[in-house]
């Protein structure tokens, strides 16, 4: 199920990043008391009254000036507005309504989406009346805020959640494996999808950023049903939203949320970029099964060590995903494409694997006998009982005498024992320690 999206927009230095961090519940955005700090959209996942949603922070909109950075910010904001279900329009209550606020308001009228106006920096109760001035912008939902102190954010979040689209559960066929192709622009995701299907189902273009909306492709092979999710679609004519290194992360997040398996596509010719690690991290955090697919392998100058060297590079950059297999393919020549779907079925099976409680406890007991937990200040971790509580990804709970006695290296040891015993290749696993009294 795709989550609703809230985009925070406004002119520079009105406190967008501060309210973003407040609503996200953590310090993510860079905060500086000068305009222009936030240039690219920043994403977080948040929750209020049981509704989860995505939050987008954007750069400050400036009008009347023309330079490359400001144009880039405007393009990024337009993309955020296009993705948003609700817009939070931030203004500075102490400055009053400015010409730039009015220009932003004109931009927001055209979206035909719910707009909440957050009148920020009203840090003292005597300043709250200053918010009334902003009704002249033409919006009816005005909220007096102090993002610094958190004043007014509860009422704001209540109103935002009320304007979300109704929750709808996606009808899922449990026999269908949902696979998303994710990666930075121009690594060949759409070409790879077409090559796998053997037909032109998705428009392919060498221009980075052609892919815009999620497109599902359903098919069946050897009795197994698949849904391929390409973050696909055609960019609106005449609008260049993103440079080659600016990937629409929210598209990947939405695809990941709906997937059992993620194919993390890497450009074998250009190598690994920081953006690849960020995108892979989203799949890992979401608990998806994953496979690294190194595309354009036909363009790489090779010797008998090239593949091993590239694999070491992948393992070094993605050390947090050492469980994910690596495939080397070429969408252009169809080299090794036949290996992808069998690998997908294999990791999907392990992703959904459920193990009996008795077997899990035996494995944990054997692991503890071989390597007992280290003592800490004269006390030692004791594991009383273990059970699997979920699949996709496999999730285990260990009831212990005191979770604080568990050193991360010992938890890692138990994680590895479970992997070795049950062959969890391709899927993350979750291991939670709880007090036996809970």
Buried b (16+ CB within 10 A) or exposed e, 329-361: bbbeeeeebeebbebbebbbebbbbebeeeebb
**Cross-strand bridge partners of residue 263:** 181, 291
Residue with tokens 């920043």: 42
Whether 298 and 335 have beta carbons less than 8 Å apart is answered as yes
What is the rounded CA–CA span in Å between residue 327 and residue 266? 10
Rg (Cα) of the chain, in Å, rounded?
A: 25
CA proximity to 60, closest of 33, 25, 26: 33
What is the rounded CA–CA span in Å between residue 25 and residue 227? 35
Q: Which residues are annotated as a binding site?
A: 10-17, 57-61, 120-123, 183-190, 230-234, 295-298
Query: Half-sphere exposure (CA, 13 Å, Cβ side) for 345?
Result: 12
Q: Which residues are annotated as a binding site for GTP?
A: 10-17, 57-61, 120-123, 183-190, 230-234, 295-298
3-class DSSP assignment, residue 111: coil
Helix H or strand E encompassing 78: helix 68-83
Q: Two tokens at 409?
A: 């290296």
Q: Two tokens at 48?
A: 């209020």
- In the chain, how long is the greatest CA-to-CA distance? 74
């Amino acid at each position: 199920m795709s989550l609703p999206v809230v985009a925070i927009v406004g002119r520079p230095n009105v406190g967008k990043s501060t309210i973003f961090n407040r609503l996200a519940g953590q310090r993510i955005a860079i905060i500086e008391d000068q305009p222009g700090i936030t240039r690219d959209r920043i994403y977080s996942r948040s929750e209020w009254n049981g509704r989860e949603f995505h939050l987008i922070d954007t750069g400050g909109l400036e009008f009347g000036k023309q330079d490359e950075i400001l144009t880039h910010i405007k393009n990024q904001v337009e993309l955020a507005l296009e993705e948003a279900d609700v817009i939070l329009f931030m203004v500075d209550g102490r400055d009053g309504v400015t010409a730039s606020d009015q220009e932003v308001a004109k931009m927001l009228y055209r979206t035909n989406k719910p707009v909440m106006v957050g009148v920020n920096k009203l840090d003292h109760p005597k300043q709250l009346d200053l918010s009334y001035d902003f009704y002249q912008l033409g919006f009816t939902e005005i909220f007096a805020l102090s993002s610094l102190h958190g004043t007014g954010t509860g009422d704001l979040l209540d109103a935002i959640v009320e304007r979300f689209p109704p929750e709808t559960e996606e009808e899922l066929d449990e026999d269908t494996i949902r696979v998303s192709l994710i990666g930075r622009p121009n690594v060949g995701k759409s070409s790879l999808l077409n090559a796998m299907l053997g037909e032109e189902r998705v428009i392919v273009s060498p221009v980075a950023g052609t892919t815009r909306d999620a497109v599902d492709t359903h098919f069946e092979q050897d009795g197994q049903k698949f849904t391929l999710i390409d973050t696909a679609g055609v960019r609106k004519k005449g609008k260049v939203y993103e440079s080659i290194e600016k990937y629409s992360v929210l598209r990947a997040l939405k695809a990941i949320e709906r997937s059992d398996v993620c194919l993390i596509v890497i450009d074998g010719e250009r190598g690994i970029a920081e953006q690849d690690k960020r995108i892979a991290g989203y799949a890992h955090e979401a608990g998806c099964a994953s496979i690294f697919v190194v595309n354009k392998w036909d363009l790489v100058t090779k010797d008998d060590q090239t593949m091993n060297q590239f694999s070491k590079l992948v393992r070094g950059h993605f050390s947090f995903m050492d469980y994910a297999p690596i495939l080397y393919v070429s969408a252009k020549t169809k080299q090794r494409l036949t290996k992808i779907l069998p690998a997908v079925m294999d990791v999907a099976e392990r992703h959904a694997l459920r193990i009996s409680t008795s077997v899990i406890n035996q494995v944990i007991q054997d692991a503890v006998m071989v390597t007992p937990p280290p003592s800490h200040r004269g006390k030692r971790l004791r594991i009383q009982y273990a059970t699997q509580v979920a699949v996709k990804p496999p999730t285990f709970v260990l009831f212990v005498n005191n979770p604080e006695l568990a050193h991360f290296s010992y938890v890692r040891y138990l994680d590895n024992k479970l992997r070795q015993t049950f062959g969890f290749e391709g899927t993350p696993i979750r291991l939670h320690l709880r007090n036996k009294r809970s």
